[in-house]
Amino acid sequence: MNYTKWWKQAVIYEIYLRSFYDSNGDGVGDLQGIIQKLDYIKDLGVDAIWVTPFYQSPLDDMGYDISDYCSILLEFGTMEDFERLVHESHRRGIKVVIDMVLNHTSDEHPWFVESRSSKTNPRRDWYVWHPGIKGDLPNNWQSAFQGSAWEYDELTGEYYLHQFSKKQPDLNWRNPQVREAMFDMIRFWLDKGVDGLRLDIINSLIEDGDFRDNIFIDNGLKIDYSKIYNNLDVAPEKIIDYTRNQPETYSIVRELRNKVIERYKDIFTVGEAYPCSPEVAGELAGEGKLDVCFHFDFLFLNKRDVRSFKEIISRWEGSIKDRGPGAWNCYYLSNHDMPRQVSVFGSEKYYKESAAMLAAFLLTLPGTIFMYQGEEIGMTDVKFNAIEHYRDIMCVNYYKRLVEEGVDLDTALSEAQKMSRDNARTPMQWSNEKHGGFTMGTPWLGVNENYRDINVRAQQGDTKSILSFYKTLIKLRKDYKTLVYGSYKPLLEEHQQVMAYIREDEHAKLLVILNMSEQMVNLQEPLDGTIDIRNTVLLIANTDQGNPFQLKPFEVRIYLV
Protein backbone atom coordinates (compact mmCIF):
# COMPACT_ATOMS: atom_id res chain seq x y z
CA MET A 1 0.00 0.00 0.00
CA ASN A 2 1.37 3.41 -1.01
CA TYR A 3 0.84 5.73 1.95
CA THR A 4 2.90 8.58 0.50
CA LYS A 5 0.26 10.23 -1.68
CA TRP A 6 -1.32 13.09 0.27
CA TRP A 7 -4.56 12.90 -1.69
CA LYS A 8 -5.30 9.29 -0.77
CA GLN A 9 -6.10 10.18 2.83
CA ALA A 10 -7.41 13.66 2.13
CA VAL A 11 -10.76 15.17 2.98
CA ILE A 12 -11.22 17.78 0.25
CA TYR A 13 -13.60 20.71 0.78
CA GLU A 14 -15.29 22.05 -2.34
CA ILE A 15 -15.75 25.80 -2.48
CA TYR A 16 -18.32 27.17 -4.91
CA LEU A 17 -16.55 30.48 -5.24
CA ARG A 18 -19.51 32.73 -6.12
CA SER A 19 -21.35 31.68 -2.99
CA PHE A 20 -18.66 31.20 -0.35
CA TYR A 21 -17.84 34.65 1.04
CA ASP A 22 -17.96 38.15 -0.46
CA SER A 23 -15.12 40.32 0.78
CA ASN A 24 -15.97 43.57 -1.00
CA GLY A 25 -19.75 43.92 -0.89
CA ASP A 26 -20.54 43.40 -4.58
CA GLY A 27 -22.71 40.37 -3.80
CA VAL A 28 -20.35 37.81 -5.32
CA GLY A 29 -17.98 35.51 -3.46
CA ASP A 30 -14.34 36.06 -4.33
CA LEU A 31 -10.77 34.87 -3.81
CA GLN A 32 -10.17 37.32 -0.97
CA GLY A 33 -13.27 35.88 0.66
CA ILE A 34 -11.69 32.43 0.70
CA ILE A 35 -8.48 33.86 2.13
CA GLN A 36 -10.44 35.49 4.95
CA LYS A 37 -12.07 32.15 5.80
CA LEU A 38 -8.95 29.96 5.63
CA ASP A 39 -8.71 29.77 9.42
CA TYR A 40 -12.27 28.43 9.51
CA ILE A 41 -11.33 25.83 6.89
CA LYS A 42 -8.19 24.93 8.83
CA ASP A 43 -10.21 24.54 12.03
CA LEU A 44 -12.65 22.26 10.23
CA GLY A 45 -9.75 19.88 9.73
CA VAL A 46 -9.88 19.30 5.98
CA ASP A 47 -6.70 18.74 3.98
CA ALA A 48 -7.44 20.62 0.77
CA ILE A 49 -9.85 22.98 -0.94
CA TRP A 50 -11.25 22.53 -4.44
CA VAL A 51 -12.14 25.93 -5.91
CA THR A 52 -14.65 26.17 -8.76
CA PRO A 53 -13.74 28.23 -11.87
CA PHE A 54 -12.51 31.78 -11.39
CA TYR A 55 -11.32 32.40 -14.96
CA GLN A 56 -12.46 35.09 -17.38
CA SER A 57 -15.99 34.18 -18.44
CA PRO A 58 -19.28 35.65 -19.73
CA LEU A 59 -20.94 33.48 -17.01
CA ASP A 60 -23.50 31.81 -19.24
CA ASP A 61 -22.88 28.65 -17.19
CA MET A 62 -21.53 30.40 -14.09
CA GLY A 63 -17.88 30.20 -15.06
CA TYR A 64 -17.76 26.83 -16.79
CA ASP A 65 -17.76 28.82 -20.07
CA ILE A 66 -14.24 30.21 -20.19
CA SER A 67 -13.12 33.03 -22.48
CA ASP A 68 -9.56 33.27 -21.14
CA TYR A 69 -8.02 30.41 -19.17
CA CYS A 70 -5.05 32.40 -17.93
CA SER A 71 -6.74 35.44 -16.42
CA ILE A 72 -9.03 35.99 -13.44
CA LEU A 73 -12.59 37.29 -13.77
CA LEU A 74 -12.47 40.71 -12.13
CA GLU A 75 -15.44 40.07 -9.83
CA PHE A 76 -13.45 37.18 -8.31
CA GLY A 77 -10.25 39.18 -7.86
CA THR A 78 -6.82 39.38 -9.44
CA MET A 79 -3.95 37.04 -10.21
CA GLU A 80 -2.22 38.45 -7.14
CA ASP A 81 -5.23 37.38 -5.07
CA PHE A 82 -4.97 33.86 -6.47
CA GLU A 83 -1.25 33.66 -5.77
CA ARG A 84 -1.87 34.85 -2.23
CA LEU A 85 -4.61 32.24 -1.80
CA VAL A 86 -2.16 29.49 -2.74
CA HIS A 87 0.49 30.92 -0.43
CA GLU A 88 -1.83 31.41 2.56
CA SER A 89 -3.40 27.98 2.09
CA HIS A 90 0.00 26.30 1.98
CA ARG A 91 1.10 28.25 5.04
CA ARG A 92 -1.76 26.57 6.91
CA GLY A 93 -1.03 23.14 5.49
CA ILE A 94 -4.01 23.25 3.11
CA LYS A 95 -3.61 22.04 -0.48
CA VAL A 96 -5.31 23.81 -3.41
CA VAL A 97 -7.19 21.99 -6.17
CA ILE A 98 -8.61 24.01 -9.07
CA ASP A 99 -11.30 23.29 -11.63
CA MET A 100 -10.25 22.68 -15.23
CA VAL A 101 -12.80 22.82 -18.06
CA LEU A 102 -11.17 21.05 -20.99
CA ASN A 103 -14.11 19.89 -23.11
CA HIS A 104 -15.26 23.32 -24.27
CA THR A 105 -14.59 27.05 -24.13
CA SER A 106 -16.90 30.04 -24.21
CA ASP A 107 -18.05 31.16 -27.65
CA GLU A 108 -16.39 34.44 -26.67
CA HIS A 109 -12.96 32.83 -26.39
CA PRO A 110 -10.63 34.32 -29.07
CA TRP A 111 -10.03 30.82 -30.42
CA PHE A 112 -13.70 30.34 -31.23
CA VAL A 113 -14.10 33.88 -32.54
CA GLU A 114 -11.40 33.01 -35.07
CA SER A 115 -12.78 29.54 -35.72
CA ARG A 116 -16.23 30.78 -36.70
CA SER A 117 -14.90 33.69 -38.76
CA SER A 118 -14.37 31.56 -41.88
CA LYS A 119 -13.94 27.97 -43.03
CA THR A 120 -10.34 28.73 -44.00
CA ASN A 121 -9.27 30.27 -40.70
CA PRO A 122 -6.26 28.41 -39.20
CA ARG A 123 -8.30 27.76 -36.06
CA ARG A 124 -11.36 26.42 -37.87
CA ASP A 125 -10.39 22.88 -36.94
CA TRP A 126 -9.90 23.78 -33.27
CA TYR A 127 -13.62 23.15 -32.74
CA VAL A 128 -16.06 20.49 -33.96
CA TRP A 129 -17.85 21.67 -37.12
CA HIS A 130 -20.20 19.79 -39.45
CA PRO A 131 -22.03 20.87 -42.64
CA GLY A 132 -25.21 19.05 -41.64
CA ILE A 133 -27.11 16.45 -43.62
CA LYS A 134 -29.37 17.64 -46.43
CA GLY A 135 -29.89 20.99 -44.76
CA ASP A 136 -30.65 19.46 -41.38
CA LEU A 137 -28.82 18.65 -38.14
CA PRO A 138 -25.75 16.39 -38.39
CA ASN A 139 -27.26 13.81 -36.00
CA ASN A 140 -29.43 13.41 -32.89
CA TRP A 141 -26.83 14.31 -30.28
CA GLN A 142 -28.42 16.20 -27.40
CA SER A 143 -27.19 19.00 -25.18
CA ALA A 144 -27.19 18.40 -21.43
CA PHE A 145 -28.96 21.78 -21.18
CA GLN A 146 -31.84 20.76 -23.48
CA GLY A 147 -32.22 20.72 -27.23
CA SER A 148 -29.83 19.71 -29.96
CA ALA A 149 -26.09 19.69 -29.29
CA TRP A 150 -25.65 21.41 -32.67
CA GLU A 151 -25.95 25.13 -33.34
CA TYR A 152 -26.20 26.51 -36.86
CA ASP A 153 -23.77 29.33 -37.67
CA GLU A 154 -25.16 31.70 -40.29
CA LEU A 155 -21.81 33.17 -41.31
CA THR A 156 -20.20 29.92 -42.49
CA GLY A 157 -23.31 27.83 -43.05
CA GLU A 158 -22.21 24.98 -40.78
CA TYR A 159 -23.08 23.60 -37.35
CA TYR A 160 -20.80 23.60 -34.33
CA LEU A 161 -21.05 21.07 -31.50
CA HIS A 162 -21.93 22.11 -27.94
CA GLN A 163 -22.67 19.33 -25.50
CA PHE A 164 -23.76 21.95 -22.98
CA SER A 165 -24.91 25.54 -23.59
CA LYS A 166 -24.77 26.88 -27.15
CA LYS A 167 -22.29 29.39 -25.72
CA GLN A 168 -19.98 26.48 -24.83
CA PRO A 169 -18.61 25.13 -28.14
CA ASP A 170 -16.72 21.83 -27.93
CA LEU A 171 -13.01 21.86 -28.65
CA ASN A 172 -11.66 19.41 -31.23
CA TRP A 173 -9.26 17.34 -29.13
CA ARG A 174 -8.25 15.32 -32.19
CA ASN A 175 -6.29 18.39 -33.27
CA PRO A 176 -2.71 18.19 -31.88
CA GLN A 177 -2.55 21.99 -31.72
CA VAL A 178 -5.56 22.06 -29.40
CA ARG A 179 -3.99 19.47 -27.12
CA GLU A 180 -0.71 21.35 -26.89
CA ALA A 181 -2.45 24.67 -26.25
CA MET A 182 -4.51 23.13 -23.44
CA PHE A 183 -1.50 21.34 -21.98
CA ASP A 184 0.38 24.66 -21.93
CA MET A 185 -2.55 26.24 -20.11
CA ILE A 186 -2.48 23.51 -17.46
CA ARG A 187 1.27 24.01 -17.03
CA PHE A 188 0.60 27.71 -16.44
CA TRP A 189 -1.49 26.90 -13.36
CA LEU A 190 0.74 24.11 -12.09
CA ASP A 191 3.61 26.61 -12.21
CA LYS A 192 1.51 28.78 -9.89
CA GLY A 193 1.85 26.07 -7.25
CA VAL A 194 -1.56 24.42 -7.30
CA ASP A 195 -1.65 20.90 -5.91
CA GLY A 196 -4.40 19.32 -7.95
CA LEU A 197 -6.83 19.51 -10.83
CA ARG A 198 -10.51 18.63 -10.98
CA LEU A 199 -11.22 17.92 -14.64
CA ASP A 200 -14.76 18.78 -15.65
CA ILE A 201 -16.68 16.11 -17.63
CA ILE A 202 -13.40 14.60 -18.79
CA ASN A 203 -14.93 11.65 -20.63
CA SER A 204 -16.54 13.94 -23.23
CA LEU A 205 -13.33 15.15 -24.88
CA ILE A 206 -13.72 13.01 -28.01
CA GLU A 207 -16.89 12.19 -29.95
CA ASP A 208 -17.46 9.55 -32.60
CA GLY A 209 -15.56 10.50 -35.76
CA ASP A 210 -18.37 9.23 -37.98
CA PHE A 211 -20.98 11.32 -36.13
CA ARG A 212 -23.32 8.35 -35.67
CA ASP A 213 -26.70 8.85 -33.99
CA ASN A 214 -27.08 7.78 -30.36
CA ILE A 215 -29.17 4.60 -30.34
CA PHE A 216 -30.90 2.20 -27.99
CA ILE A 217 -28.85 -0.95 -27.41
CA ASP A 218 -31.79 -3.37 -27.38
CA ASN A 219 -33.21 -2.50 -30.78
CA GLY A 220 -30.61 -0.29 -32.47
CA LEU A 221 -33.16 2.46 -33.02
CA LYS A 222 -32.24 6.13 -33.08
CA ILE A 223 -33.16 7.92 -29.82
CA ASP A 224 -35.94 10.48 -30.15
CA TYR A 225 -34.79 13.13 -27.71
CA SER A 226 -37.89 15.23 -28.29
CA LYS A 227 -39.70 12.84 -25.96
CA ILE A 228 -37.23 13.20 -23.07
CA TYR A 229 -35.56 16.13 -21.33
CA ASN A 230 -31.95 15.40 -22.32
CA ASN A 231 -29.43 12.62 -22.76
CA LEU A 232 -28.83 12.48 -18.99
CA ASP A 233 -32.39 11.22 -18.56
CA VAL A 234 -31.71 8.01 -20.48
CA ALA A 235 -30.22 5.17 -18.44
CA PRO A 236 -26.63 4.93 -19.77
CA GLU A 237 -26.67 1.13 -19.77
CA LYS A 238 -29.54 1.22 -22.29
CA ILE A 239 -27.94 3.35 -24.99
CA ILE A 240 -24.86 3.68 -27.14
CA ASP A 241 -23.79 7.28 -26.60
CA TYR A 242 -21.27 8.34 -29.21
CA THR A 243 -20.36 11.54 -27.34
CA ARG A 244 -18.89 9.96 -24.21
CA ASN A 245 -16.25 7.38 -23.23
CA GLN A 246 -14.61 7.06 -26.63
CA PRO A 247 -11.29 5.13 -26.70
CA GLU A 248 -9.39 8.18 -27.95
CA THR A 249 -10.41 10.06 -24.80
CA TYR A 250 -8.64 7.44 -22.70
CA SER A 251 -5.52 7.92 -24.83
CA ILE A 252 -5.61 11.68 -24.28
CA VAL A 253 -5.82 11.15 -20.52
CA ARG A 254 -2.64 9.07 -20.69
CA GLU A 255 -0.98 11.72 -22.84
CA LEU A 256 -1.94 14.40 -20.31
CA ARG A 257 -0.42 12.34 -17.53
CA ASN A 258 2.79 11.63 -19.42
CA LYS A 259 3.42 15.04 -20.97
CA VAL A 260 2.20 17.30 -18.16
CA ILE A 261 1.28 15.85 -14.77
CA GLU A 262 4.33 13.61 -14.33
CA ARG A 263 6.64 16.58 -14.82
CA TYR A 264 5.37 18.07 -11.55
CA LYS A 265 5.58 16.68 -8.02
CA ASP A 266 2.64 14.80 -6.53
CA ILE A 267 -0.17 16.54 -8.42
CA PHE A 268 -3.64 15.15 -7.74
CA THR A 269 -6.06 14.64 -10.62
CA VAL A 270 -9.75 13.79 -10.35
CA GLY A 271 -11.93 13.45 -13.41
CA GLU A 272 -15.67 14.03 -13.50
CA ALA A 273 -17.19 11.41 -15.79
CA TYR A 274 -20.74 10.63 -16.83
CA PRO A 275 -21.65 7.89 -17.35
CA CYS A 276 -19.03 6.36 -15.09
CA SER A 277 -19.10 2.66 -14.29
CA PRO A 278 -16.20 0.91 -12.55
CA GLU A 279 -15.10 -0.20 -16.03
CA VAL A 280 -14.99 3.40 -17.27
CA ALA A 281 -13.14 4.44 -14.12
CA GLY A 282 -10.59 1.73 -14.88
CA GLU A 283 -9.92 3.31 -18.27
CA LEU A 284 -9.67 6.86 -16.93
CA ALA A 285 -7.93 6.43 -13.56
CA GLY A 286 -5.08 4.40 -12.17
CA GLU A 287 -1.39 4.05 -12.87
CA GLY A 288 -0.40 6.31 -15.78
CA LYS A 289 -3.84 7.95 -15.90
CA LEU A 290 -5.85 10.17 -13.58
CA ASP A 291 -5.84 9.40 -9.87
CA VAL A 292 -9.58 9.00 -9.27
CA CYS A 293 -12.95 9.51 -10.98
CA PHE A 294 -16.18 11.05 -9.79
CA HIS A 295 -19.15 8.82 -10.49
CA PHE A 296 -22.80 9.86 -10.24
CA ASP A 297 -24.31 6.81 -8.56
CA PHE A 298 -25.56 8.72 -5.51
CA LEU A 299 -26.82 11.65 -7.58
CA PHE A 300 -28.99 9.48 -9.78
CA LEU A 301 -30.21 7.43 -6.83
CA ASN A 302 -31.82 10.72 -5.71
CA LYS A 303 -33.38 9.30 -2.54
CA ARG A 304 -32.50 7.56 0.71
CA ASP A 305 -32.40 3.89 -0.19
CA VAL A 306 -30.34 1.77 2.20
CA ARG A 307 -30.09 -1.26 -0.06
CA SER A 308 -28.91 0.90 -2.95
CA PHE A 309 -26.31 2.61 -0.74
CA LYS A 310 -24.93 -0.81 0.16
CA GLU A 311 -24.88 -1.95 -3.46
CA ILE A 312 -23.10 1.20 -4.64
CA ILE A 313 -20.31 0.94 -2.08
CA SER A 314 -19.87 -2.80 -2.55
CA ARG A 315 -19.75 -2.41 -6.34
CA TRP A 316 -17.04 0.26 -6.25
CA GLU A 317 -14.97 -1.34 -3.48
CA GLY A 318 -15.30 -4.77 -5.06
CA SER A 319 -14.07 -3.52 -8.42
CA ILE A 320 -10.74 -2.04 -7.32
CA LYS A 321 -8.62 -5.14 -8.01
CA ASP A 322 -10.16 -5.59 -11.46
CA ARG A 323 -9.37 -1.99 -12.44
CA GLY A 324 -5.64 -2.54 -12.42
CA PRO A 325 -2.61 -0.93 -10.73
CA GLY A 326 -3.19 2.34 -8.93
CA ALA A 327 -6.99 2.04 -8.75
CA TRP A 328 -8.45 4.14 -5.96
CA ASN A 329 -11.94 5.32 -5.05
CA CYS A 330 -13.36 8.64 -3.96
CA TYR A 331 -16.78 9.42 -2.52
CA TYR A 332 -19.06 12.43 -2.13
CA LEU A 333 -22.74 13.00 -1.38
CA SER A 334 -23.18 16.50 -2.75
CA ASN A 335 -21.50 19.19 -4.83
CA HIS A 336 -22.33 22.35 -6.78
CA ASP A 337 -24.35 20.36 -9.33
CA MET A 338 -26.40 18.32 -6.85
CA PRO A 339 -29.14 19.09 -4.32
CA ARG A 340 -28.16 19.35 -0.66
CA GLN A 341 -27.49 15.92 0.81
CA VAL A 342 -29.69 16.32 3.88
CA SER A 343 -32.61 17.36 1.64
CA VAL A 344 -32.20 14.30 -0.57
CA PHE A 345 -30.97 11.57 1.76
CA GLY A 346 -31.95 12.96 5.16
CA SER A 347 -35.19 13.61 7.01
CA GLU A 348 -37.10 16.77 7.74
CA LYS A 349 -38.48 15.27 10.95
CA TYR A 350 -35.04 14.15 12.14
CA TYR A 351 -33.09 16.87 10.41
CA LYS A 352 -30.12 17.15 12.78
CA GLU A 353 -29.78 13.41 13.38
CA SER A 354 -29.93 12.58 9.67
CA ALA A 355 -27.38 15.28 8.82
CA ALA A 356 -24.99 13.72 11.34
CA MET A 357 -25.70 10.23 10.02
CA LEU A 358 -24.80 11.29 6.47
CA ALA A 359 -21.59 12.87 7.74
CA ALA A 360 -20.64 9.63 9.48
CA PHE A 361 -21.49 7.58 6.39
CA LEU A 362 -19.32 9.70 4.11
CA LEU A 363 -16.37 10.10 6.46
CA THR A 364 -16.05 6.41 7.32
CA LEU A 365 -15.85 5.25 3.69
CA PRO A 366 -12.53 4.19 2.11
CA GLY A 367 -10.52 6.37 -0.23
CA THR A 368 -10.48 10.10 -0.90
CA ILE A 369 -13.44 12.07 0.47
CA PHE A 370 -15.01 15.21 -0.98
CA MET A 371 -17.38 17.34 1.05
CA TYR A 372 -19.20 20.44 -0.12
CA GLN A 373 -19.36 23.84 1.54
CA GLY A 374 -22.31 24.23 3.89
CA GLU A 375 -22.85 20.51 4.46
CA GLU A 376 -20.87 20.83 7.68
CA ILE A 377 -23.68 23.00 9.09
CA GLY A 378 -26.53 21.06 7.46
CA MET A 379 -27.56 23.56 4.79
CA THR A 380 -30.72 22.55 2.91
CA ASP A 381 -32.31 22.98 -0.52
CA VAL A 382 -33.97 26.30 -1.26
CA LYS A 383 -37.46 26.87 -2.68
CA PHE A 384 -37.70 30.27 -4.33
CA ASN A 385 -41.29 31.30 -5.08
CA ALA A 386 -40.69 32.29 -8.72
CA ILE A 387 -38.52 31.07 -11.58
CA GLU A 388 -37.10 34.60 -11.90
CA HIS A 389 -35.12 34.03 -8.71
CA TYR A 390 -33.21 31.08 -10.20
CA ARG A 391 -29.89 31.53 -12.01
CA ASP A 392 -29.16 27.93 -13.05
CA ILE A 393 -29.46 27.68 -16.85
CA MET A 394 -30.40 24.00 -16.64
CA CYS A 395 -33.24 24.73 -14.21
CA VAL A 396 -34.58 27.71 -16.16
CA ASN A 397 -34.51 25.81 -19.48
CA TYR A 398 -36.32 22.87 -17.91
CA TYR A 399 -39.03 25.17 -16.54
CA LYS A 400 -39.49 26.81 -19.95
CA ARG A 401 -39.83 23.45 -21.65
CA LEU A 402 -42.44 22.24 -19.19
CA VAL A 403 -44.47 25.41 -19.67
CA GLU A 404 -44.22 25.09 -23.46
CA GLU A 405 -45.53 21.53 -23.14
CA GLY A 406 -48.60 22.80 -21.31
CA VAL A 407 -47.66 22.00 -17.72
CA ASP A 408 -49.26 24.48 -15.31
CA LEU A 409 -46.93 27.10 -13.84
CA ASP A 410 -47.01 25.84 -10.24
CA THR A 411 -46.18 22.27 -11.27
CA ALA A 412 -43.46 23.45 -13.64
CA LEU A 413 -41.86 25.50 -10.86
CA SER A 414 -42.08 22.59 -8.41
CA GLU A 415 -40.39 20.22 -10.86
CA ALA A 416 -37.69 22.75 -11.73
CA GLN A 417 -37.00 23.38 -8.03
CA LYS A 418 -36.27 19.70 -7.44
CA MET A 419 -33.53 19.48 -10.05
CA SER A 420 -32.10 22.99 -9.79
CA ARG A 421 -28.39 23.26 -9.23
CA ASP A 422 -29.15 26.47 -7.33
CA ASN A 423 -30.21 24.24 -4.42
CA ALA A 424 -26.54 23.84 -3.63
CA ARG A 425 -25.45 27.27 -4.83
CA THR A 426 -27.25 29.58 -2.41
CA PRO A 427 -24.76 31.66 -0.42
CA MET A 428 -22.93 30.12 2.52
CA GLN A 429 -24.70 30.87 5.78
CA TRP A 430 -22.10 32.35 8.11
CA SER A 431 -24.33 34.06 10.68
CA ASN A 432 -27.89 35.18 11.40
CA GLU A 433 -27.08 38.65 10.09
CA LYS A 434 -28.59 39.99 6.88
CA HIS A 435 -27.95 37.70 3.90
CA GLY A 436 -26.51 35.14 6.28
CA GLY A 437 -23.35 37.18 6.73
CA PHE A 438 -22.32 36.31 3.16
CA THR A 439 -22.24 39.85 1.83
CA MET A 440 -22.79 43.47 2.83
CA GLY A 441 -24.37 44.06 -0.59
CA THR A 442 -27.07 42.31 -2.60
CA PRO A 443 -26.24 38.61 -3.12
CA TRP A 444 -26.03 37.35 -6.70
CA LEU A 445 -28.44 34.55 -5.69
CA GLY A 446 -30.94 34.68 -2.85
CA VAL A 447 -29.95 33.28 0.55
CA ASN A 448 -31.98 30.40 1.95
CA GLU A 449 -34.44 31.92 4.42
CA ASN A 450 -33.44 29.39 7.11
CA TYR A 451 -30.07 31.13 7.54
CA ARG A 452 -31.30 32.61 10.83
CA ASP A 453 -31.29 29.14 12.37
CA ILE A 454 -28.72 27.31 10.25
CA ASN A 455 -25.42 29.16 10.22
CA VAL A 456 -21.78 28.77 11.21
CA ARG A 457 -21.81 31.22 14.11
CA ALA A 458 -24.71 29.47 15.83
CA GLN A 459 -22.93 26.13 15.70
CA GLN A 460 -19.33 27.07 16.45
CA GLY A 461 -19.78 27.13 20.21
CA ASP A 462 -22.14 24.16 20.38
CA THR A 463 -20.40 20.85 21.07
CA LYS A 464 -23.52 18.97 19.95
CA SER A 465 -23.91 20.82 16.65
CA ILE A 466 -23.62 19.33 13.17
CA LEU A 467 -20.44 21.38 12.68
CA SER A 468 -18.84 19.91 15.80
CA PHE A 469 -19.80 16.40 14.68
CA TYR A 470 -18.08 16.95 11.33
CA LYS A 471 -14.93 18.16 13.07
CA THR A 472 -14.94 15.12 15.34
CA LEU A 473 -15.37 12.75 12.41
CA ILE A 474 -12.60 14.38 10.37
CA LYS A 475 -10.26 14.13 13.35
CA LEU A 476 -11.23 10.47 13.83
CA ARG A 477 -10.35 9.82 10.19
CA LYS A 478 -6.93 11.34 10.77
CA ASP A 479 -6.38 9.38 13.99
CA TYR A 480 -7.45 6.09 12.43
CA LYS A 481 -5.96 5.69 8.95
CA THR A 482 -7.87 2.41 8.95
CA LEU A 483 -10.84 4.49 7.78
CA VAL A 484 -8.82 5.45 4.70
CA TYR A 485 -6.81 2.38 3.80
CA GLY A 486 -8.51 -0.44 5.67
CA SER A 487 -10.65 -3.15 4.10
CA TYR A 488 -14.38 -2.68 3.80
CA LYS A 489 -16.56 -5.58 4.97
CA PRO A 490 -20.33 -5.04 4.79
CA LEU A 491 -22.60 -6.45 7.51
CA LEU A 492 -26.38 -6.84 7.67
CA GLU A 493 -26.51 -6.73 3.87
CA GLU A 494 -30.21 -7.56 3.70
CA HIS A 495 -31.30 -5.14 6.42
CA GLN A 496 -33.77 -2.52 5.19
CA GLN A 497 -32.93 0.24 7.68
CA VAL A 498 -29.38 -0.27 8.94
CA MET A 499 -26.06 0.06 7.14
CA ALA A 500 -23.17 -1.54 9.00
CA TYR A 501 -19.62 -2.37 8.00
CA ILE A 502 -16.21 -3.18 9.39
CA ARG A 503 -13.12 -1.16 8.46
CA GLU A 504 -10.00 -3.14 9.30
CA ASP A 505 -6.25 -3.23 8.75
CA GLU A 506 -3.21 -4.32 10.76
CA HIS A 507 -3.58 -1.29 13.04
CA ALA A 508 -7.24 -1.33 14.04
CA LYS A 509 -10.69 -2.77 13.52
CA LEU A 510 -13.63 -0.40 13.54
CA LEU A 511 -17.34 -1.15 13.39
CA VAL A 512 -19.66 1.46 11.86
CA ILE A 513 -23.42 1.20 12.48
CA LEU A 514 -25.83 3.66 10.85
CA ASN A 515 -29.58 3.65 11.24
CA MET A 516 -30.68 5.26 7.96
CA SER A 517 -34.37 5.29 8.81
CA GLU A 518 -36.97 7.18 10.84
CA GLN A 519 -37.79 4.01 12.78
CA MET A 520 -36.41 2.61 16.00
CA VAL A 521 -34.45 -0.53 15.09
CA ASN A 522 -33.60 -3.55 17.20
CA LEU A 523 -30.32 -5.29 16.34
CA GLN A 524 -29.75 -9.01 16.49
CA GLU A 525 -26.61 -10.12 18.29
CA PRO A 526 -23.88 -10.90 17.46
CA LEU A 527 -23.81 -8.73 14.34
CA ASP A 528 -21.50 -10.87 12.19
CA GLY A 529 -21.36 -14.06 14.18
CA THR A 530 -18.35 -12.90 16.21
CA ILE A 531 -18.67 -9.25 17.30
CA ASP A 532 -20.38 -8.53 20.59
CA ILE A 533 -20.70 -4.74 20.74
CA ARG A 534 -20.80 -4.92 24.56
CA ASN A 535 -17.10 -5.80 24.37
CA THR A 536 -16.14 -2.89 22.13
CA VAL A 537 -15.17 0.74 22.76
CA LEU A 538 -17.61 3.39 21.56
CA LEU A 539 -15.65 6.12 19.78
CA ILE A 540 -18.43 8.32 18.38
CA ALA A 541 -22.21 8.52 18.58
CA ASN A 542 -24.72 11.21 17.67
CA THR A 543 -27.24 10.43 20.42
CA ASP A 544 -27.20 9.67 24.12
CA GLN A 545 -26.63 5.98 24.60
CA GLY A 546 -29.27 3.58 25.83
CA ASN A 547 -29.74 -0.06 24.89
CA PRO A 548 -26.71 -1.10 22.80
CA PHE A 549 -28.95 -3.33 20.66
CA GLN A 550 -31.55 -0.67 19.97
CA LEU A 551 -30.94 2.17 17.50
CA LYS A 552 -32.84 5.43 17.58
CA PRO A 553 -33.84 7.03 14.25
CA PHE A 554 -30.69 8.01 12.32
CA GLU A 555 -28.46 6.97 15.17
CA VAL A 556 -24.74 6.67 14.45
CA ARG A 557 -22.25 4.54 16.34
CA ILE A 558 -18.59 3.93 15.59
CA TYR A 559 -16.84 1.33 17.71
CA LEU A 560 -13.26 0.21 18.17
CA VAL A 561 -13.46 -3.57 18.20
pLDDT tier at 235, thresholds 50, 70, 90: confident
Which residues lie across from 511 on neighbouring strands? 502, 559
| CA torsion, ordered 15, 16, 20, 22, to nearest 10 deg | 130
Total number of domains constituting the chain? 2
Report the alpha-carbon distance of residue 513 to residue 520 in Å, rounded: 14
Q: pLDDT per residue over 335-377, tens digit each?
A: 999 999 999 999 999 999 999 999 999 999 999 999 999 999 9
Question: Is position 394 within any domain?
Answer: no
User: Is residue 497 assigned to a domain?
Assistant: yes
pLDDT mean across residues, the chain: 95
CATH code: domain of residue 121: 3.90.400.10
Q: Looking at residue 468, what is its pLDDT?
A: 98
Q: SS3 for 219-264, per residue?
A: CCCECCHHHCCCHHHCCHHHEECCCCCCHHHHHHHHHHHHHCHHHC
pLDDT digits (tens, 9 = 90+) for 251-298: 999 999 999 999 999 999 999 999 999 999 999 999 999 999 999 999
With respect to residue 291, please indicate whether it lies within any of the assigned structural domains.
no
58 pLDDT above the threshold of 70 = yes
Evaluate whether residue 231 is within a structural domain: yes
Q: Is the pLDDT of residue 556 over 90?
A: yes
386-432 pLDDT tens trace: 999 999 999 999 999 999 999 999 999 999 999 999 999 999 999 99
Domain endpoint, select from 187, 203, 238: 238
Residue 126 lies in a domain: yes
Which amino acid, one-letter code, is at 490? P
In this predicted structure, the answer to whether residue 233 has a pLDDT above a threshold of 80 is no
Model pLDDT, residue 226? 83
pTM: 0.96
Q: How far is CA 544 from the centre of its chain?
A: 34
Per-residue pLDDT tens digits for 459-507: 998 999 999 999 999 999 999 999 999 999 999 999 999 999 999 999 9
Can you give the CATH number for the domain in which 533 is found?
2.60.40.1180
Give the pLDDT score at 232.
61
CA 441/CA 452 separation, integer angstroms: 18
For residue 495, what are the domain limits? Answer: 486-560
343 located within any domain: no
Active-site residues, by number, are 200, 272
